[in-house]
Amino acid sequence: MKRELLASVREWIAGDPDEADRAVLQQLLDQGDEEELHRRFDTPLSFGTAGLRGPVMAGPGGMNRYMVRRATQGVVSWLEETGADPMAGVVVGRDARHGSEEFNDEVVRVLLGAGVKVMEMPRPLPTPLVAYCVKVLGAAAGIMITASHNPPEDNGYKLYGPEGSQIIPPNDRIVERYALAASEPVLGSRTSTLHQPIGDDVLDSYFEHFAQRFVVHGGTGLRITYTPLHGVGGEPMMRLFRDAGYRRVAVVDQQFVPDGDFPTLAFPNPEEPGALDLAMERADETGSALVVANDPDADRLGVAVNAHGGWRILRGDEIGWLLASALLEEMDPQRDLVATTIVSSTMLEKMARRARIPYISTLTGFKWIARGDGERTLRFGYEEALGFAVDPLVADKDGMSAALALCRLAERLSHEGKSLLDRLDEIEHDFGVHAGGQVSLRAEGPHASEMIRDAVARLRATPPSSLGGLAVSEVVDLAQGWRGLMATDGVYMRLGDMGRVVVRPSGTEPKLKAYLEVTLAPDDRRLVEQRAEAGRHLRGVREDLQRLLKF
C-alpha cells in the first residue's frame, strides 16, 4: 500500500469521532483493501451544484459525522472571515434520510461550541423551509442535511448564505479550505442559551403566505392525487392544500410516511421512470385529474396529467412553461425578472420577451438562478430538473409552493373547460414546438469521476459536425466561460436554428448528462405533425450522443 494512502487513512481514523466508522477503516487497512480505500480517499466530497452530497460511509469520499463536523468548522471560519455576526445565527434543518439526525446533531454541537447562535428546525422538514427561515429571520447562514432526490444510500449538506440562497464561489472554496484545516472542535450542548428552536409561529408564516398567495376562493372540485415519495413533504403539503382551498386531495398511503429506505422506489426522484406509478394508480382509483409529487426533501415538483384516460408525465420544462404562463402576467417589467439555466428550454426567453419581462440564463443549479441579476426581483425561476421558484420569499427551488401555483392554474383552466395540456398546446402553437430530452450515463467504480471528465474532454477536443442529421453550427467550451457566465465543465453545441445540446457532469451524482432541445418555428401544420417531426430529430440526436459519449 502506498505510503501516502496509508498516512491519509491513519490520519482520518485518528480524528474520526465515530467508533463504527473508525472500525470500518481499520478493518480495510488490516485487510489491505486498497481498491476500497482508494474509493473512499482519492476523491473527497466537495461543494458541487447543491453542496456536499455522497454515500453515507466512512472516509472523506462519503457523508459521515467527521465530514459533517469538519464542514461545519469550515462554515464557522467562513462566517468569521466574511465578518458575519455569530449572534445573527445559523438555521439548521434536516430531512428524514438515514444519518440525517446524527449529522444534524454534529452541526448543532459544532456551531454552539464555536459560540454561534443556532436556530434549529423542530423536526425533519422540507428544505425550502430552511431557505425561507434564513431570509425571514435575518440569519447569517443556513445548513440543511439532505441529499434531495439521490439514492437511499446518499446524504448531503446544503449551505445557504444570508440572502437565503445557496452559496456560490468563492464562498464554497473558502469553506472547503477551512474544513481541510479543521482540528478537533469544541462541542456545545442544546442547553446553551445560544440554542433556539424555531417556533411554530415562524413556520406558520410560510404556510399562511403561500396558502393566501395561491388560494382558490370558495374551494374547488379539482381532484388531485399527491405523493411525497417517502419524504418529509407529506404533512406540510397537505396543510397547504387544505389552507388554500383544496378538499379533494388523495394521497399515496404507501409513500406518505417518511422512510429513508424508499421501499417502493428504485430511485426517489420524480424524474425517474416508474417513480409516479403508484400515484397514477391511486389517481385512477379516485378519479383525479392531476398527480402531484414532491421529491424526498420537497424542493422539487413532479406532475402527471390525466390525458383522456391515460397519464402524461410532464417534463420539467413543460411545468416551467405552464407556471410562466400564469405568473408572467402578474409581473412588473420595471422591477421583476425571470430566469432559467443554459440546460433548460429556450421557451421561457421567448415567453418573457413577448410579456416584456426581463430574462436571464444562468449556469446549472438554483444557487445561480436565485441570484437573478442583482438588481431586479426574481419573480419566477426554474430548471428542467423539476426545480421551480414562484415567490421571492424563498430564494431556492420550492416544490410545495410551486405545486400550489400549478394547481391554481389547473383549477382556473377547468372553469374554461380546459386542462394543463390544452395550455401547453396554446404555448407551443404561439411560440413553436420545443422538444426536449436527456442522455444520462451513470459511471460506476472507483474511477467514475475520471471516466466522466475524460468523456467531456474527448467531446471538447473532437466535437461532432452533426447530430441526428442536424448540423452543429457552433461549439462552446464552457470551461472558458460564455456570455458572461462563470467557467464550468461542459460543452455547448448549437444545432443552427433547430436547437442545442449541452453536455456536462452532474453536480450531484456520478453521471454524465446531455441536455437536448430541438425547436421548430410555428407553422400552419397541426401540432401533432410538428411534434412528430421534432421527436424524430430528437431521437436521432439522442442516438448519436449515446454512441459518442459511452464510457
pLDDT over 70 percentage in the chain? 100
Other Cβ atoms less than 10 A from the Cβ of 217: the count is: 7
Determine the Cα–Cα distance for residues 68 and 330; give it in Å rounded to an integer: 42
Determine the Cα–Cα distance for residues 210 and 208; give it in Å rounded to an integer: 6
Interval 378-393 mean pLDDT? 97
Determine the Cα–Cα distance for residues 22 and 42; give it in Å rounded to an integer: 18
Q: What is the pLDDT of residues 50-84, one digit of tens each?
A: 789 999 999 999 999 999 999 999 999 999 999 99
| Mean pLDDT estimate for the chain | 96
Question: Does residue 20 lie within any of the structural domains?
Answer: no
Question: Does residue 180 lie within any of the structural domains?
Answer: yes
User: Which amino acids are annotated catalytic?
Assistant: 148
Model confidence at 153, pLDDT cuts 50, 70, 90, reads very high
| Number of domains into which the chain is organized | 3
Q: What is the pLDDT of residue 503?
A: 97
Question: Does residue 41 lie within any of the structural domains?
Answer: no
Q: Which CATH number covers residue 481?
A: 3.30.310.50
Residues 412 and 487 in one domain: no
Residues 303 and 402 in one domain: yes
Q: Is 13 within 8 Å of 25 (Cβ atoms)?
A: yes
Q: Which CATH number covers residue 103?
A: 3.40.120.10
374 contact partners, CB below 8 Å, separation of at least 6: none
Determine the Cα–Cα distance for residues 511 and 150; give it in Å rounded to an integer: 12
Residues 142 and 247 in one domain: no
| 3-state SS, residue 249 | strand
Residues 491 and 394 in one domain: no
Model confidence at 290, pLDDT cuts 50, 70, 90, reads very high
Q: Which of 405, 431, 457 is the last residue of a domain?
A: 431
Q: What is the pLDDT of residue 444?
A: 85
Determine the Cα–Cα distance for residues 301 and 292; give it in Å rounded to an integer: 7
Sign of the CA dihedral with 247 first, then 253, 255, and 259 last? positive
Specify the higher pLDDT residue, 449 or 546. 546
Question: Does residue 36 lie within any of the structural domains?
Answer: no
Lowest mean pLDDT, pick from 45-59, 412-426, 463-477, 527-541 = 45-59
Interval 165-192 mean pLDDT? 95
Q: For residue 197, give the H/E element and its range.
A: strand 195-197
Phi, psi of 114 (to 5 degrees): -90, 5
Residue 420 has pLDDT above 90, yes or no: yes
Q: Which of 137, 155, 184 is the last residue of a domain?
A: 184
Q: What is the pLDDT of residue 128?
A: 98
Residues 172 and 267 in one domain: no
Q: What is the pLDDT of residue 550?
A: 87
Strand partners, 302: 293
Strand residues in 346-473 grouped as ranges (E): 359-362, 377-383, 387-389, 433-442, 466-467, 470-471
Q: What is the pLDDT of residue 105?
A: 98
Q: What is the pLDDT of residue 56?
A: 98
Residue 446 has pLDDT above 90, yes or no: no
- Domain extent, residue 120, equals 63-184
Model confidence at 162, pLDDT cuts 50, 70, 90, reads very high
Residues 389 and 494 in one domain: no
Determine the Cα–Cα distance for residues 500 and 517; give it in Å rounded to an integer: 6
Spacing of C-alpha 303 from chain mean position: 16
Q: Is 538 within 8 Å of 468 (Cβ atoms)?
A: yes
Q: What is the pLDDT of residues 360-375, one digit of tens each?
A: 999 999 999 999 998 9
Q: What is the pLDDT of residue 11?
A: 96
Residues 493 and 418 in one domain: no
Question: Does residue 138 lie within any of the structural domains?
Answer: yes
Residues 125 and 174 in one domain: yes
Residue 248 has pLDDT above 90, yes or no: yes
Residues 466 and 388 in one domain: no
Q: Which of 184, 210, 230 is the last residue of a domain?
A: 184
Residue of 253, 240, 48 whose CA lies nearest to 128: 240
Question: Does residue 53 lie within any of the structural domains?
Answer: no
Residues 218 and 82 in one domain: no
312 contact partners, CB below 8 Å, separation of at least 6: 304, 305, 421
Model confidence at 445, pLDDT cuts 50, 70, 90, reads confident
Q: What is the pLDDT of residue 486?
A: 92
Residue 507 has pLDDT above 90, yes or no: no
What is the number of alpha carbons within 13 Å of residue 261 lying toward its C-beta?
Answer: 3
27 contact partners, CB below 8 Å, separation of at least 6: none
Residues in the chain: 551
Question: At 135, which amino acid appears?
Answer: K
Nine-digit cell string for 363: 449556469
Work out the burial of residue 25: count CB atoms within 10 Å of its CB; fewer than 13 is exposed, 13-18 middle, 19 or more buried: buried
Nine-digit cell string for 172: 464554497
488 contact partners, CB below 8 Å, separation of at least 6: 363, 364, 478, 479, 504
Residues 251 and 381 in one domain: yes
Residue 447 has pLDDT above 90, yes or no: no
Residues 460 and 410 in one domain: no
Alpha-helix runs per DSSP H in 253-315: 277-286
Question: Does residue 51 lie within any of the structural domains?
Answer: no
Interval 157-170 mean pLDDT? 96
Determine the Cα–Cα distance for residues 241 and 245; give it in Å rounded to an integer: 6
Q: What is the pLDDT of residue 27?
A: 97
Q: What is the DSSP letter of 344?
A: S
Question: Does residue 477 lie within any of the structural domains?
Answer: yes
Q: Which residues of 344-355 are buried (b: 16+ CB within 10 A; e: fewer)?
A: bbbbbbbbbeeb
What is the number of alpha carbons within 13 Å of residue 500 lying toward its C-beta?
Answer: 15
Sign of the CA dihedral with 12 first, then 15, 20, and 21 last? negative
Q: What is the pLDDT of residue 448?
A: 84
- ω before 228 within 30° of 0 (cis)? no
